[in-house]
Structure 1
């Protein structure tokens, strides 16, 4: 039987079950009946992990009669104190989504395109894995293993096996993560100043002043349950200020809201630093002071560096001389279109609360975002809030054991090809991609499409993607349509059909991490680190498998049968059950043993006897409790022992960034100034090494494209995988300015009036690369001159709720990634998607 796109949606009206005669050939999920009275049936809470955002909250799922019916935070978790946000509750609909892929499928239509019906037919796992193994063996035969590409989206700790080690065993450098379309540029703020490449943690219990800068801690990305519970304490004990062009949930509760002009955040941060220094409000215990005790910071005046006795920081006076001395609040007010007095008031109150204060800042993924986040994070250092009680910190880790090494099983073919250049072009002259401030150590996810199309540095012949949908989730996604159509063989491992699945030759249905798979994850929040379990809480209803473990095992078996046993030998010999010593004999045993191996340091009484955090009494105790919490973070260790920077200090003049940029320039036989020019930054000379203001780079002349488009994230997005859930639409107005059951673009009423647009009108939004039509929502919570659109809707695939007409590939709403140009913050390699870098014009349809 062939399963065509239209047939995917032949459904019973109320039940939402797919009308196929044989469940073995039904590619989508079918809701079970006869579950009984859930309100009366006995049940149990089973620990798991949410992964709806990057906090990865430990949770518990209540199971009755084999069915998951309720979700809450793990009552033992110190990251969320037993709570979860709306994303956790959406798990229930995700499990029983009637449009889940149920069985492996293969393509029968060789033509690939957005509107091409793949004409998938159901196949067995055996046939699917046999086909994939053949393609890999063909690469090995032709010594082209480097032309294999693995693309990662959502992942667990087991990504080390599938994403990290498997490509090296095959012999390719091309394992590409989604990170650069997520938030990588955000990390450069702390990397260039205090040597920390990662997300921060916050002491909200003791904080007296919080600035939420271009982010919404109550809604999106990290530590949401913790922020929701503790924001009132900050409001009661101090103040909250929000700097954002749009009123978000945090702004609705804050004492201050500054509706800044998109992309000018760096100007306000620089002006705040100027104000703090001129008024003598910097933290002298952290930064030091003038030797004579007299403040020499005066507007327009250069200061002698020798006159300042610096303590735990590097280059404060140099920063003043290079960037700050002329840039006061009046200057920034003109740049950012805000009130000078508000800039000064927020700076004053922020410094007055120090060090019990902190800035929670967003990703700043625009073409010059690295210097914006440096300027903002420098304020945390200026007032001594970093690594200080009531401020912010790097956070805690969690106990975990190492995975078995693969080195002795890697053959000469793999060793030779794994060192070839990566397909994303990281480290090239115009793409430094300096994760951890080292050239070429970052990832440039969105550039992979360009590289595939250009066959630069080579062509890709076999690709696997898992839990990713780059055709939808990246800017100017039409490039990905063309690129994936060009790849001869593509495997997509996902729980649901998506825009990227259109281009697959083989589709492998993935088990859901939070209810059907074995894994562990590690994260941090609320000053604690944690390792938490992911385990099956229900019996699998469909023929799905865990991608990172089970697919790895099945592929290894097939490769062994075809003469390449190295991968199987590695898994069989090294991944033994740490309790019994047994070797794995099938994919499920391998998944279980890998989970036990990774978490052994957390649950084994002998290995964790000296651990200062939670102690468990064996594997079954870990399964029952589901989480191990670290000790609470101890502040000021870096004050005492030094920061992991080049100078061992908090760097206002970044020797750390300087070393990276100079190394990149030297590699390409050029200068840092030339690198700055080619990567579209304005800084020249030493200014490239200090936090400074870069004027926003914008696509579209303001006369033709007068509105700044900003893209925000919904508190309902489970990492982009909730758009086919009915609850998503029923509660959409929980995102301020949005409307239930609709997808809207938010416009200020004054702007709309000038354009003759009324609330509810359909409007055409046009950028330099295309147009989309969407419904207008008039709302005073958007700054005039700004158009705000929530990411998440506009799927033409994904299922019956996500699409207006899935069978006809008609989207529900609009995906504004389609009209955002392909651009980058090239220091980090991050995709540009916000900060108003996309100019648009808006017309009533």
Structure 2
């Protein structure tokens, strides 16, 4: 600010008046306050209490400020290293969730025996005793009829106590059908890294030391995982590194990157293999990791095969096979025709990426991998990290995690009787492991629970009907593609229990509704999160407030109460397991009620972390009370190159470009069905055969719907404000929805490129009907250049018809605010991993002005 002579005189005059006035006595309003001067006292009104936000799978440590028993503010826990002591906007939204007036406040039961979306459940309040007794009667009936396999436990989000409810309880009752939501979350991205480097888990990246990053369909400063970590170092990352974002939508990350590659949805694989082609033909691979030609002369030439004996690999296996089978013809010109990205941009990104080696990151995410045939796409993305030597290397990709020393829960095999053993031996309800759904988690056929196939199994009674379902922290007929299938399936289930914080679409079909605590504010639980910022961690959820509602903890208190009720009916195995096998590590006391059971289970699980006598590498915490107070335990930083020199865990012990690990897994799956690997490739909708099955390769995008009838491609994305799909009933979510590029507050918009809109005669703000072979929804049109021509993109999260007074325009009439993407998304899978294919444009759409 410039200070002129005139303004200087004004400031001097005012300063002089203030100095003079400060010495004069003025009238004091003693009737309002006896204090006559400012006080230096700054006493805290309340206290900060540690907890954990589970608004995404980062599971960040937070602190909550409590005043007079009420949660008033949230911040990152300064003791947490994975998120730099920060939290993102999702954690703050939790304050509106916990005090949401639409919460389930007490147990309820259905009085209308008819089920269907058009049926009023006619819920009435009941006691906890009546609710638990009713559930126990249904389970005993299954056991009396040797039908325990027709019991199923459905899990959505969870804490580290989930192995009690999700793991032990179904097995002791006698059912193989504990069904997780994981396959509709992220299993496909794990597939790529497992079959190159034997790591099945969420990735972590050394953002602080990298020089180049390619984000494949990810938006890490807004959604995906580790948002507080990524956002907090983004400025430094942007100053130091070049960034490229591959996404048909101009996301927040794309807008802040050096390169935006608006790929045709589902064609990311073409880009990935073309980049690999450039790295090899232009001798940009990282030789200290990969190796080199024995004579030092690069023989990777377009269209030419290479003799395997001419190349000597160091940390990798099968590079020459990969080149000969899948890469030699995959030039940037070839990729440009398929991906819609200019040839020169592909060259530029590939060269810059290679020159940054080994500090270069290929960052996979669900946006590009959760597509039909996405398994081989994400393998190609992972293989790029091998080519530039960034796998398990500084400035690159973390291939595993440091140890988080926690205890396993006690074994329960002793409590599985003959009836339960017979039930546990039955085929699972989800079809995982069938020929067309390998679900090859950890090389095991059927290793993935294929969530979205459960609806088809119920509707077709294949392999049998379910009779009793208990579910928690989920809303499957909203969050799975093909929602109408789920409505039909839920209506067929004779008895369903929904354990939840808010009633929602799935609750509409329940027979018993049980109110549960909000995880961040009302329960004591350990949460072992995914690694981030080079740290493995465990955070604590503390009971920050006393809930005004009659709630019970889903993973501990409810199974305890059910165990007691089953004991009264002659089946004591479940409660015996809880009473006999769980004991306080400090006192040896066994639990006598559900609340004690919850605390003892938490102490047992975390005991190695808070017990100073247990040797470990990481934070030293002096006792149980200190762990609760601090709220987090951090490992030592990740030590790179642990897997180098033959320790990758693959079949060859090397980083695999030609995956012997996948070859064995596929052969095992094929043998299980008396089939060939080519038969598996055909059944899983892959286009390639033979050796292609074992290498990262290009698979063309799979589309549902005829192009003439459905001329555009539909894609979706997640909101920065989206707490795992549970934010729509919050005014803050609706009011600030326009923080997402292209979106609008208090609305639900389909973002259409103006070029396409002009052809269709659609103007900005028009009501439009989106129709696919699966269904239709009506939303507003938003003309936006940030959507690639030929593509319609829309945020996920709106379209609730049974959630709350803000999420729905009219709950009583079931009028949703906007549309649910899953109503129009085709219920197809990335079959190799068992993942739902919900992101990458496999569904074609027709847009019509209403």
TM-score normalised by L of structure 1: 0.94
SS in 1 for 2:208: coil
Partners in 2 of 1:340 and 1:832 — Cα distance?
Answer: 28
Shift of 1:533: 0.7
Do residues 493 (structure 1) and 496 (structure 2) align?
A: no
Matches within 5 A, 1:234-253: 234-253=237-256
**After superposition, where does 1:56-95 map in structure 2 within 5 Å?**
56-95=59-98
Q: Does 1:557 align with 2:564?
A: yes
Q: Deviations over 1:585-639 (max 9, x none)?
A: 11111111111111101101222xx212001110011111010100000001111
Matched, 1:702 2:686: no
Structure 1 residue 56, shift from structure 2 partner? 0.4
Extract unaligned runs of 5+ from structure 2. Answer: 1-41
**Contact map agreement 1:764 1:842 (CA 8 A) in 2:** yes
- In structure 1, the gaps of 5 or more residues are 1-38
Match of residue 207 from structure 1: 210
CA RMSD in angstroms comes to: 1.0
* Residue 319 (structure 2) aligns with: 316
Q: CA deviation at 1:354?
A: 1.0
Match for residue 486 of structure 2 among 480, 488, 507: 480
Q: What is the alpha-carbon distance in structure 1 between the residues aligned to residue 617 and residue 697 of structure 2?
A: 42
| Whole-Å separation in 1 of the counterparts to 2:235 and 2:658 | 36
State the alpha-carbon separation in 1 of the partners of residues 444 and 621 from structure 2. Answer: 39
Structure 1 residue 224, shift from structure 2 partner: 0.2
Question: Is residue 343 of structure 2 the alignment partner of residue 336 of structure 1?
Answer: no
Partner of residue 36, structure 1: none
Match of 1:436 among 439, 442, 450: 442
Q: CA deviation at 1:828?
A: 1.2
Question: What is the aligned counterpart of 1:573 among 574, 577, 580?
Answer: 580
What is the CA–CA distance in structure 2 between the aligned matches of 1:217 and 1:494, rounded to whole Å?
29
Instruction: Provide the residue aligned with 1:24 in structure 2.
Output: none
1:488-527 matches, cutoff 5 A: 488-523=494-529, 524-527=531-534
Specify the alignment match of 1:801 in structure 2: 806
Name the counterpart of 1:548.
555
Shift of 1:641: 4.6
In structure 1, how many angstroms separate the alpha carbons of the residues matched to 2:202 and 2:830? 18
The question of 1:837 aligning with 2:842 is answered yes
- Per-residue Cα deviation, 1:186-245 (whole angstroms, up to 9, x for no partner): 111101111111111111110111111101001112100001011221211121110100
Q: Is the 8 A contact 2:645 2:654 kept in 1?
A: no
The separation in 2 between residues aligned to 1:436 and 1:160, in whole angstroms, is 19
What residue number does 1:351 align with?
354
Distance of 1:430 and 1:402 partners within structure 2: 34
Q: Which residue of 1 aligns with 2:538?
A: 531
Deviation larger for 632-641 or 64-73: 632-641
Residue of structure 2 aligned with 1:49, choices 35, 49, 52: 52
Deviations 1:480-537 (A, max 9, x none): 1111111110000000110000110000011111111121011221000111111200
Write out aligned runs for 1:358-369 (5 A): 358-363=361-366, 364-369=369-374
Contact 2:64 2:544 in 1 (8 A): yes
Equivalence map 1:6-17=2 (5 Å): none
What is the match of residue 684 of structure 2? 679
Structure-2 residue corresponding to 1:401: 407
Distance in 1 (alpha carbons) for counterparts of 2:176 and 2:184: 20
- 1:731 pairs with 733, 736, 742, which one? 736
Determine if contact 1:512/1:546 at 8 Å carries over to the other structure: no
Q: CA deviation at 1:321?
A: 0.4
Give a deviation string over 1:545-565, Cα, whole Å, max 9, x none: 110000010000100111111
Map 1:370-769 onto structure 2 (within 5 A). Answer: 370-393=375-398, 394-523=400-529, 524-607=531-614, 610-769=615-774
Paired residue secondary structure (1:156): coil
Aligned counterpart in structure 2 of residue 220 of structure 1, from 219, 223, 235: 223
Kindly indicate whether the alpha-carbon contact (under 8 Å) linking 2:200 and 2:442 is maintained by their aligned counterparts in 1.
Answer: yes
- 8 Å CA contact retained: 2:244, 2:258: yes
Could you tell me how far apart the structure 2 residues matched to 1:766 and 1:405 are?
Answer: 50
Distance 1:569 1:604 in 2: 27
Residue 106 of structure 1: aligned partner: 109
CA offset at residue 818 of structure 1? 0.5
In 2, Cα distance between equivalents of 1:399 and 1:761: 56
Q: Deviations over 1:441-470 (max 9, x none)?
A: 111100001011111111111001101101
Please give the secondary structure, in 2, of the residue aligned with 1:804: strand
2:11 is aligned to: none
Q: Number of paired residues? A: 805
Post-superposition shift, 1:266? 0.2
Which of 821, 825, 834 aligns to 2:826? It is: 821
Distance in 2 (alpha carbons) for counterparts of 1:715 and 1:800: 22
Helix, strand or coil at the partner of 2:644:
helix
Matches within 5 A, 1:774-793: 774-793=779-798
d(CA) in 1 for partners of 2:118, 2:719: 28
Measured in 2, the distance between the counterparts of 1:711 and 1:675 equals 29
Partners of 2:444 and 2:688 in 1: CA distance: 19
After superposition, the C-alpha distances for 1:141-175 in whole angstroms (9 at most, x for unaligned) are: 11110110110001001111100111111000000
Instruction: Give the alignment partner of residue 233 of structure 1, picking from 233, 236, 243.
Output: 236
- Distance (whole Å) between structure 2 residues aligned to residue 689 and residue 475 of structure 1: 29
Cα separation, 2, equivalents of 1:97 and 1:501: 17
The residue matched to 1:611 in structure 2 has which SS? coil
**After superposition, where does 1:30-41 map in structure 2 within 5 Å?**
none
How far off its partner does 1:762 sit?
0.6
2:363·2:381 contact (CA, 8 Å) conserved in 1? no
CA contact (8 A) 1:492 1:506 kept: yes
Contact 2:657 2:696 in 1 (8 A): yes
Conserved 8 A contact 1:210-1:234: no
Aligned partner of 1:7 in structure 2 is none
Corresponding position of 2:4: none
Contact 1:200 1:395 in 2 (8 A): no
Distance 1:368 1:212 in 2: 19
Q: Map Cα deviations across residues 321-356 of structure 1 (whole Å, 9 max, x no partner).
A: 001001100000011111101101101101111111
* Correspondence for 2:277 among 274, 278, 303: 274
* Structure-1 separation of matches of 2:741 and 2:92: 20
- The answer (yes or no) to whether the contact 1:41–1:64 under 8 Å persists in 2 is no
Q: What SS does structure 2 have at the residue aligned with 1:150?
A: strand
Instruction: Name the SS of the counterpart of 2:732 in structure 1.
Output: helix
Q: Within 5 Å, which residues of 2 pair with 1:126-137?
A: 126-137=129-140
1:129 shift after superposition: 0.2
How far residue 395 of structure 1 moved from its aligned partner, in angstroms, is 3.2
**Distance in structure 2 (CA, Å) of the matches to 1:616 and 1:622:** 6
Specify the alignment match of 1:9 in structure 2. Answer: none
Equivalent residues of 1:180, 1:830 under 8 A apart: yes
Distance 1:781 1:543 in 2: 47
Distance, in Å, in 2 between the alignment partners of 1:770 and 1:628 is 47
Deviation at 1:41, TM superposition (A): 6.7
1:295 to 2:298 alignment: yes
Match of 2:50, SS state, is strand
TM-aligned CA deviation for residue 670 of structure 1? 1.2
Q: How far apart, in 2, do the equivalents of 1:40 and 1:475 lie?
A: 52
CA displacement at 1:715 relative to structure 2: 1.3
